Amino acid sequence: MKTVKLQDVIDSENHVKADTWESRRLVLKKDNMGYSVHDTIIKAGTETHIWYQNHLESVYCIEGEGEVETVKDGKVWPIEKDTIYVLDQNDEHYLRAKTDMRMVCVFNPPITGQETHDENGVYPLVED
């Protein structure tokens, strides 16, 4: 058993920042759980192109308001507190934040902790 406090991850090597988001990685591949868990902030007024070709992701919004637009069909899904969206088909999408949004993200397979989006919005798949 282990516990992780968010305050211990903030500003550590497991706190990854980008222009439109920051991700505090709480459970990682090295924890051998088969998934990773992140506490992520999406910055107000931003749009992020994301396409996890190598990962499935579930995202639970615990604060804020925004929307997700799926690229293949142009459908827009409103996101607000207490809403989860599930990218169960490696969905290419745009995530837009009207306000700062705080999200709990779960990835399968798990990430190592240092990944960031490439030019296509993809996290690389890191093999052992």
Which domains are present in the chain?
21-108 (2.60.120.10)
What local confidence, expressed as pLDDT, does residue 88 receive? 95
- Quickly state the pLDDT bin for 127 (edges 50, 70, 90): low
Kindly state the average pLDDT of the residues 99-126.
79
Task: Give the pTM.
Answer: 0.88
Kindly give, in sequence order, each residue whose CB lies less than 8 Å from that of residue 6, ignoring residues fewer than 6 positions away.
Answer: 24, 26, 39
Tell me: cis bond preceding 124? Omega within 30 of 0 counts: no
According to DSSP, the residues that pair with 93 across neighbouring strands are 50, 70
pLDDT tens across 47-73, in order?
999 998 888 999 999 999 999 999 999
What local confidence, expressed as pLDDT, does residue 44 receive? 98
